Structure formats: C-alpha cells, structure tokens
C-alpha cells in the first residue's frame, strides 16, 4: 500500500468520525439513556403500562422491612396525593414525571427529589419519628406550581398497616 492510498483511508476515517460529532444532539439522548441505565419510562403511557400504573402507586411493603413509594408528579399534583410510611425504616422513593420537571420537596426536611419525564428518580428517605409533612413542588413547573402540594404521613412502625404482597397502601389504609 502506498502512502497516497493510506492518506486517503485515514482521511476517510476522520471524516466518518466527524459526522457523528456534528450530530451529537441526535446521539446524545440514546447515549445518555444508556448511561442512565434501566430507570427509564415513557411519560406518555405511565398510566397505561409498567411500574407506574394506578394500582402500583403508593406504598409497598418490601420483604426486608423497608418500604417503596411510587409517585407520579404532573401538572399540578402528585399522585397519590397522600403517602403513608412507617417511621424508622428506609423509604425508597421512585418518582417520575408525566410532563414537566418537578421536585418532590418535604417542607421542614432536607429531602427534595427531582422528578423528570422519561426517567425514574430513586431516593432513600428515613424518618426517625412519626409526623405529618407537607410535600410541595420545588421546581417552577407552570401556572399551578404554587398549588402543587401533597402530604406525607409518617406513622409509628406498629401502626403501619400490614400490606400483603402486591398490596399498595396510602393514607386511606391507615
Ligand atoms: Cu412545580
């Protein structure tokens, strides 16, 4: 192979590499999703299929004694509107958004969990004592943002209802 031919090949390879570099906005999303791992959801069909269907929202009892809370943030409410959790155990929050960016912030605490459309955000919260907290949206999300509030009730562990496998609890189960 002569030098001329080699130069041509190198140039071709360089140009082929440059094309995706100028189209980064097209490859950015799939790459980011791949980097983010499996915590992806389609915001358009949250209510229809998958983890965030209505009867899967709320508090779930985990085998190790902790609980998992699934929430959807949307303009301008959090679903479910009131969450019941036991004190003294890890509370695993899984939240996503159906539309804009929201933040599930618990007033009087340092907890604030961002909810993004297309992604499930995970957080672990812990409440030492029983108490009622107001959750409010801490991300300006539109005209109704300041009305976007919900409740989180922490009850003593022994007062928390026994939730069988597949059962989800909320404030109404108290
Ligand atoms: Cu908001």
Domain 43-173 has CATH 3.20.20.70: no
CA of 98 to the centre of ligand 1 (A): 13
Which tens digit of pLDDT belongs to each residue from 120-172?
Answer: 999 999 999 999 999 999 999 999 999 999 999 999 999 998 888 888 988 88
Closest CA to 119 of 61, 72, 157: 72
Where residue 27 falls among pLDDT bands split at 50, 70, 90? low
CA of 168 to the centre of ligand 1 (A): 26
Strands 67-74 and 91-97: parallel
* Secondary structure in 3-state letters for 51-71: CCCHHHCEEEECCCCCEEEEE
pLDDT at 163: 87
The phi and psi torsions of 11 (rounded to 5 degrees) equal -65, -40
Domain boundaries, the chain: 3-36, 43-173
CA of 150 to the centre of ligand 1 (A): 12
Instruction: Please tell me the pTM assigned to this model.
Output: 0.77
């Amino acid at each position: 192979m002569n030098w001329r031919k080699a130069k041509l090949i190198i140039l071709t390879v360089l140009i082929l590499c440059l094309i995706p570099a100028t189209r980064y906005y097209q490859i950015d999303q799939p790459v980011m999703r791949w980097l983010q791992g499996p915590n992806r959801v389609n915001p358009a069909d949250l209510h229809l299929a998958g983890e965030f269907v209505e009867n899967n929202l709320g508090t779930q009892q985990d085998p190790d004694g902790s609980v998992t809370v699934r929430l959807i943030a949307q303009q301008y409410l959090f679903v479910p509107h009131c969450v019941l959790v036991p004190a003294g155990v890890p509370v695993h929050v899984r939240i996503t958004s159906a539309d804009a960016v929201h933040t599930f912030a618990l007033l009087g605490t340092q907890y604030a969990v961002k909810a993004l459309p297309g992604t499930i955000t995970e957080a672990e919260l812990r409440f030492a004592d029983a108490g009622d907290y107001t959750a409010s949206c801490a991300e300006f999300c539109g005209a109704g943002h300041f009305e976007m509030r919900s409740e989180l009730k922490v009850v003593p562990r022994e007062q928390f209802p026994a939730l069988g496998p597949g059962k989800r609890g909320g404030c109404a189960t108290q």
